[in-house]
Amino acid sequence: MKKPAWLEIAESYIGTTEFKGIRHNPIIVGFWKLIKRGGIKDDETPWCAAFVGGCLEQAGIVSSRFESAASYLHWGAEVRRPLLGCVAVVSRPGGNHTFFVVGISSDGRRVIGLGGNQSDKVRYSLFDIATVKGFRWPEILPLGEPAPVVNPALFLNETKMD
């Protein structure tokens, strides 16, 4: 199964974390610059959309270029089912969140997502599929492959997933 270029880029950032205190992680600040939001110069501003956008931009895909996770509900083309590497937006306490889909659980009730600002770092996390507000794909590209059915335990470890 061939991964989209932006997903491979996203995987290269696994473990990138916010700096506690007055310093800010230059990688996270760099995501803001990639999405043309260079006025944001910290790693405390919710940065899930900056991560998704930064990875897309590095792959040559124009992102939503907004700070809001919900901006991805209007970006690209809607897809009805999760595709490997598609952008997902979920609702969660405190607002929305966005990430790349890497798989779905065998029972079809959870999606495994790779995103930024998941426990203040780039990591894999599980999301209830009922919280998904939309799956999106770059309009300029043919649709990718369906997200694989995976055992979430393969992603479970302290550095990758809650």
Structure confidence by residue, pLDDT tens digits, 70-108: 999 999 999 999 999 999 999 988 899 999 999 999 999
% the chain with pLDDT above 90: 87
Query: In the predicted model, is pLDDT for residue 157 greater than 90?
Result: no
Architecture of the 5-155 domain: Alpha-Beta Complex (3.90)
Report pTM.
Answer: 0.94
Q: What pLDDT, on a 0 to 100 scale, did the predictor assign at position 153?
A: 81
Residue 161 near residue 126, CB atoms below 8 Å: yes
pLDDT digits (tens, 9 = 90+) for 4-39: 999 999 999 999 999 998 999 999 999 999 999 989
Residue 102 near residue 84, CB atoms below 8 Å: yes
CB atoms within 10 A of CB 70: 17
Q: Where exactly are the structural domains of the chain?
A: 5-155
* pLDDT class of 159 with cuts at 50, 70, 90: very low
Rounded CA-CA distance 48/13 in Å is: 13
Q: Specify the DSSP element, H or E, that contains 112.
A: strand 110-115
3-state secondary structure of 103: strand
pLDDT digits (tens, 9 = 90+) for 46-71: 999 999 999 999 999 999 999 999 99
Residue with tokens 């470890």: 157
The per-residue pLDDT of the chain, averaged, comes to 93
N residues, the chain = 162
